[in-house]
Amino acid sequence: AQSVTQLDSQVPVFEEAPVELRCNYSSSVSVYLFWYVQYPNQGLQLLLKYLSGSTLVESINGFEAEFNKSQTSFHLRKPSVHISDTAEYFCAVSKGSGNTPLVFGKGTRLSVIA
Partner 1 sequence: EPEVTQTPSHQVTQMGQEVILRCVPISNHLYFYWYRQILGQKVEFLVSFYNNEISEKSEIFDDQFSVERPDGSNFTLKIRSTKLEDSAMYFCASSTATGGLFFGPGTRLTVL
Where do contacts with partner 1 occur on this chain (CB under 8 A)? Answer: 32, 34, 36, 42-46, 49, 51, 90, 92, 94, 96-107
Q: Is 38 or 86 the residue whose CB approaches partner 1 more closely?
A: 38
Are the CB atoms for 19 and 37 separated by under 8 Å? no
Distance between CA atoms of residues 74 and 67, nearest Å: 5
Q: Amino acid letter at 61? A: N
What's the min distance (Å) between Cβ of 89 and partner 1? 12
Q: Is 28 or 99 the residue whose CB approaches partner 1 more closely?
A: 99
What's the min distance (Å) between Cβ of 101 and partner 1? 4
What's the min distance (Å) between Cβ of 34 and partner 1? 7
Q: Is 47 or 81 the residue whose CB approaches partner 1 more closely?
A: 47
What's the min distance (Å) between Cβ of 41 and partner 1? 9
Distance between CA atoms of residues 32 and 14, nearest Å: 31
Dihedrals φ, ψ of 103, to 5°?
A: -110, 125
- CA of residue 48 relative to chain centroid, distance: 8
β-bridge partners, 10: 109
Q: Is 108 or 112 the residue whose CB approaches partner 1 more closely?
A: 108
